[in-house]
Amino acid sequence: MLKIKNLQVGLEEENKQILKGVNLEIGEGEVHAIMGPNGSGKSTTSYVLAGKDGYEVTDGSATLNGEELLDMDPEERAAAGLFLAFQYPVEIPGVGNMTFLRTAVNAQRKARGEDELSAGEFLKIVRAKAKSLEIDADMLKRPVNVGFSGGEKKRNEILQMAMLEPKMCVLDETDSGLDVDAMKLVAKGVNALRDGKRSFLVITHYQRLLDHIKPDFVHIMADGRIVKSGGPELALEVENNGYADILAEVA
Amino acid sequence: MAVSQPKMDGASALAGHYPAPSGAKWAHDARASAMATFMSQGAPHKRDEYWRYTDPSALTAVPTAPAALFTSDEKPMFDGVDRVRIVFVDGVFDAAQSDDLSLAGATIETLSSAVNTDIHWAKDLFGQLEKNGQNPVQRPLAALNTAVADEGLVIHVTGKCEKPLAIRYIHNAKTSDAMVHHVIKIDAGAEFTLLESGAGAARFNSVLEVDVADNAQFHHVRTQGRDHERKTVTHMFGRLGQESVLRSFTMTVNGILTRNDAILEFTGDNAQATVAGACAGDGNGFHHDDTVFVTHDSVNCESRQVFKKVLRNGATGVFQGKILVKADAQKTDGYQISQGLLLDDNSNFLAKPELEIYADDVACSHGSTVGAIDDEALFYLTSRGVPRKQAQDMLVLAFLGEAIDEINNDELADDIRDRLAAWMERRHG
Ligand SMILES: Nc1ncnc2c1ncn2[C@@H]1O[C@H](COP(=O)(O)OP(=O)(O)OP(=O)(O)O)[C@@H](O)[C@H]1O
Ligand SMILES: [Mg+2]
């Protein structure tokens, strides 16, 4: 599904290397988790995959089902099946949440040569999915993320993911800022999308999310590299001992 | 200060260009007085403080430079609205294309018919609100309009009009130079909606005098035609009585030169006025200026000025807005925001917001910003699959939307949004 090879990334504006050769391979239907200290490059990895400006890829590649993502515009990556749930979802005053979602869904369908959804069809689907995430009708009408609580923003990200039905979902700290119930809700939303084909890359600091979204593999990122990979037990080790031991071991 | 010779010469040349219209004595007197004002002020010049950001020479040149007609397959504005439709072609009332001058709750006449009536209520308003608005700022092009305009409508609103009156200005002749002057008197408790659309003429000078009596309401939605080469100057003089409401919104796309002046005066307590504008300009030649002067001279009135301009490819947007709060105008709530969204480095937004306050118990705020498209928002939208251009349009519409939201009629607001969206989509080529 997703193959990241020797990905090296710096900043466009200043001479600073952030990713120093990231290698990661995610197979169809797999769930991978990335953990790692603050500032290690986790969000940067997700942004570079999604196509955010301001980064310069100096080496490496990232392919989705064999297609080079790094050559595509962000909207093409989305249409190809990549989705990033943002660590900090952006507030967009004046753009209705519903209008935005419908435009996005139909733009992707159009890009893939599928028929656009009518307003009625769309409404039916979005209402059902919003309900299961306990997002009320009022939130759908409001401008994108404006005045949403931290938890509401994260649930809104999952709603978008559910509507867009991507192949590869990247979730950047979707658990941060969520209370226990909201986290269960979000995990339920994610698990509902697990169909044996769709793959997930879950960035998190905490084991507690991984109790609900069970990963097949766990990776530790430090200083712009993946320094250790393992099974779910690696997350438990981090939870109990922090990163010190792991970092010492690989140093 | 003595008026300079070039300004005097400019005024003489311009005044000499227009024949003196006929009318009853009261109209003749009002016009003569306006002409005297114009001649003493001289033609506006870019060295004038009030024209500092906008060169008026295209508005004062004799004769008018030709402007190519704009032909479009686009449907005329407001055609879906149940309204009484009045047509002016190059500034001349066209009875054949217009509906009957009949609207329940109002009496409508042409200006030329009203000014030839010896005894007419318009005597108290025609040229009078314009004259009041000449102080403290000179408005020579409005005075000239009063002096020479022979076309327009004179409307007396006595009840709550169910339907709006929609004036459509058609531009048919390449060198047309039109002046229209409307006078509207809205009686106590009455309500009236005026819609205006179209370019009007190669050069178009319009004055609207509107008197909104106690508890009366005036709603105004205007779109200025998409003719690429039109030059327009408009003045709206509004006087508000107690607990009255005035709401005016203007959408402008294209044109070379547009100067919209709104001059409002609160004379009764607890009244509300809003002037708003959404403007989209593309190209070096585009210059759009909103100039607003609101005078608070009564207690507990609320005024809002909301102006948004999106500019690209070297377009220029100007906002000059003033709130004057006189000493007795306690509890005034004055709000003013003007914002420019620049889609490239070649475009310009110039703003001169001013507050002048002599009362001590007031809440006035003003803000002016200029910025570019928010990259974070753009990335968010594109990362969800919305193509970049479409995402940019969504953000531009959202930006302009805050001005469109000032229209308190959903049907009209949606109409405006649709037009802007269609216009932006055509930009994609
Ligand atoms: N646009 C930028 N400008 C300057 N520095 C940046 C930029 N983007 C990332 N960085 C730097 O790159 C490093 C990696 O940042 P990144 O956000 O990827 O970390 P992270 O692993 O997601 O951290 P956290 O766990 O705190 O979310 C940090 O030192 C950060 O300050
Ligand atoms: Mg991060």
Minimum distance, in Å, between the CA of residue A50 and any CA atom of chain B: 6
- Give me the CATH code for the A2-250 domain, please: 3.40.50.300
Q: Is the CB of A54 under 6 A from ligand 1?
A: yes
What residues in B contact A100, CB-CB < 8 Å?
Answer: 381, 384, 386, 394
Residues 6+ apart with CB under 8 A from B4: B42, B45
Question: Where do the structural domains in chain A lie, given as residue ranges?
Answer: 2-250
Minimum distance, in Å, between the CA of residue A220 and any CA atom of chain B: 26
Please tell me if residue B373 touches chain A, with a CB cutoff of 8 Å: no
Residue A109, classed as helix, strand or coil, is helix
Mean pLDDT of B52-67: 89
Please tell me if residue B385 touches chain A, with a CB cutoff of 8 Å: yes
- Output the pLDDT for position A132: 84
Mean pLDDT of B18-29: 95
- Report the nearest atom of ligand 1 relative to the CA of A173: 27
Nearest-5° angle of CA B424, CA B257, CA B12? 165
Nearest to B334 by CA among B326, B342, B343, B325: B325
Q: Is the CB of A34 under 6 A from ligand 1?
A: no
Least confidently predicted of B63-72, B92-101, B212-221, B398-407: B63-72
Q: Which residue of A has its CA nearest to B389?
A: A75
Mean pLDDT of B270-282: 96
> Which ligand is located closest to the Cα atom of residue A85?
2
Q: Write the ipTM.
A: 0.95
Determine which residue's CA is closest to atom 3 belonging to ligand 1.
A11
Q: How high does pLDDT run on average in chain A?
A: 93
Residue A40, classed as helix, strand or coil, is coil
Block means of pLDDT (10 residues each) for chain A, 251 residues, are 96 93 96 95 96 95 96 96 95 94 93 90 92 86 92 92 95 90 90 94 92 94 94 91 85 73
What is the SS3 string spanning chain B?
CCCCHHHHHHHHHHHHHCCCCCCCHHHHHHHHHHHHHHHHHCCCCCCCHHHCCCCCHHHHCCCCCCCCCCCCCCCCCCCCCCCEEEEEECCEECCCCCCCCEECCEEEEEHHHHHCCCCCHHHHCCCHHHHHCCCCCCCHHHHHHHHHCCECEEEEECCECCCCEEEEEECCCCCCEEEEEEEEEECCCCEEEEEEEECCCCEEEEEEEEEECCCCEEEEEEEECCCCCCEEEEEEEEEECCCCEEEEEEEEECCCEEEEEEEEEECCCCCEEEEEEEEEEECCCCEEEEEEEEEECCCCCEEEEEEEEEEECCCEEEEEEEEEECCCCCCCEEEEEEEEEECCCCCEEEEEEEEEECCCCCEEEEEEEEECCCHHHHHHHHHCCCCHHHHHHHHHHHHHHHHHCCCCCHHHHHHHHHHHHHHHHHHCC
Residues 6+ apart with CB under 8 A from B52: B46, B352
- In angstroms and rounded to an integer, the radius of gyration of the C-alpha atoms of chain B is 21
pLDDT tier for residue B2 given thresholds of 50, 70 and 90? low
- Output the pLDDT for position B72: 65
- Cα–Cα distance measured from residue B39 to residue A91, given in angstroms and rounded to the nearest whole number: 54
Q: Is the CB of A240 under 6 A from ligand 1?
A: no
A75/B402 touch (CB, cutoff 8 Å), yes or no: no
Mutate to test the interface with A, among B383, B393, B400, B402 (most CBs of A within 10 A): B383
Determine which residue's CA is closest to atom 22 belonging to ligand 1.
A43
Please tell me if residue B387 touches chain A, with a CB cutoff of 8 Å: yes
Please tell me if residue B392 touches chain A, with a CB cutoff of 8 Å: no
Residue-wise pLDDT for A20-62, tens only, equals 999 999 999 999 999 999 999 999 999 999 999 999 999 999 9
**A10 CA from centroid of ligand 2 (Å):** 16
- In angstroms and rounded to an integer, the radius of gyration of the C-alpha atoms of chain A is 18
What type of residue sits at position A164? L
Residue-wise pLDDT for B203-250, tens only, equals 999 999 999 999 999 999 999 977 778 899 999 999 999 999 999 999
- Output the pLDDT for position B184: 98
- Output the pLDDT for position B426: 82
The shortest CB-CB distance from A84 to any of B375, B383, B401 is to: B383
Joined together, the tokens standing for residue B183 give: 């006078």
- Output the pLDDT for position B1: 52
pLDDT at B73 over 80: no
Counting Cα atoms < 13 Å in the Cβ hemisphere of A115 gives: 5
Determine which residue's CA is closest to atom 30 belonging to ligand 1.
A39
Would you say the C-alpha torsion A144, A148, A153, A156 has a positive or negative sign?
negative
Q: What percent of chain A has pLDDT over 70?
A: 100
Q: How many CB pairs under 8 A join A and B?
A: 78
Contact A46, A20 (CB under 8 A): no
Mutate to test the pocket of ligand 1, among A40, A56, A84, A202 (most ligand atoms within 8 A of CB): A40
Q: Which residue of A has its CA nearest to B387?
A: A75
- Output the pLDDT for position B429: 59
Mean pLDDT of B51-63: 92
**A205 CA from centroid of ligand 1 (Å):** 15
The torsion angles phi and psi of A108, rounded to 5 degrees, stand at -65, -40
